Amino acid sequence: MPVETDAAIRDILEDETIAVVGCSSTPGKAAHDVPSYLLGQGYEIVPVNPFADEVFGRETVDSLADVEDEIDVVCVFRPSEEVQGIVGDALERDDVDSIWTQLGIRDDEAVARAEANGRAVVQDRCMKVEHRRLIA
């Protein structure tokens, strides 16, 4: 079952490095504005987007496998049908503690798989909204 308590969400929001899968270079899109907000709050943002060269002045990577730095949280801005593969990529890494799918993005089977592998999962919630509500 995905993380739903304020205490558990707050614990995830205390992590520092967030890989944003589907991070957008287009202002006005949630996949741009949410990570931009998080960057402004002091988080280390790693943009994952095979179709952009850079976002926020940071070089993008094509996939989670290409991220050289340690990742605490994988934040997903991709359609629900892609979550299973993204979770698989996250589970290949030993450093990912949590997976967070943004509003409207759900895959209960992927959540169960991630949790069975010891990862916390927040599903169908906006990281910016939760940060403002619990931390800011």
State percent of the chain over pLDDT 90.
97
**pLDDT value at position 1?**
77
What does the block give as tokens for 46?
């790693």
Q: Is residue 1 part of a domain?
A: no
Phi, psi at 113, each rounded to 5°:
-65, -45
pLDDT per residue over 86-116, tens digit each?
999 999 999 999 999 999 999 999 999 999 9
Render pLDDT for 61-73 as a digit per residue (tens, 0 to 9). Answer: 999 999 999 999 9
pTM for the full predicted model: 0.95
Total domain count, the chain: 1
Residue 61, in any domain of the structure: yes
Which residues neighbour 88 within 8 Å (Cβ) at sequence distance 6 or greater? Answer: none
Residue 37 has pLDDT above 80, yes or no: yes
CATH code, domain with 22: 3.40.50.720
Residue 40's domain comprises: 6-134
